[in-house]
Structure 1
């Protein structure tokens, strides 16, 4: 039970880590890797995809040390990071940017809100003045249905 709680806690903490990394690294000194992601028509691999590797390294290391030492909890920290990475991939690359055409016609309020918030983030093509840096938790205003 404790390991499931560790995994869940790390998954939730990763949203905060992602928000901070997106705002201060990707839109800061790491802009040279993230910039191509904000261009209108990108296809295939982007320099921005390097961030997947950056986040995978700690997860892999934690799996290793959690498996080959007596500190089993490290494995479950790595698992939380992995689960967040999978969720990020499915939401960001599959659902929002449609890099894979798996979920083209989603009619879920939560997922529509995530797409709307990310669209606002990409409205600004530059490094400065962006908003909505999170991925799974975005401001409630993006979940409200437009008035007809």
Structure 2
């Protein structure tokens, strides 16, 4: 059963360099999610794991937003849901693989959810060391992420 947690919406209209538009990303205060037509990546916390849902194909701007959302949340365990993506821009794949390597260096990892073999292949081609593990179901990705998190706690004990 999923926890009842507030949603955070990350918008492509933020004022960071390289983004379209000029409005700041809208966020919630723990109540209902603020929704706009400019929503690109949906982010939410699930028991210490950040789940990022991409609404379609992954381009460089969305890959950058994923990185910003992970950094803002201070996440060490991330699930990127690319279930609606039929394509990943090669540069975006490099950005996502780089994020995975940085998060691994902090003791965590990035898991990707996709059923598309082309998306998996693009991530594998972009990896110089190890591509993020891919899962077909978000539940499996969450389980892998939580297992990694628990093994990290055990190493600290």
TM-score normalised over the length of structure 1: 0.26
Q: Which has the larger radius of gyration?
A: 1
Q: Between Structure 1 and Structure 2, which shows a larger proportion of helix residues?
A: 1
Q: Between Structure 1 and Structure 2, which shows a larger proportion of strand residues?
A: 2
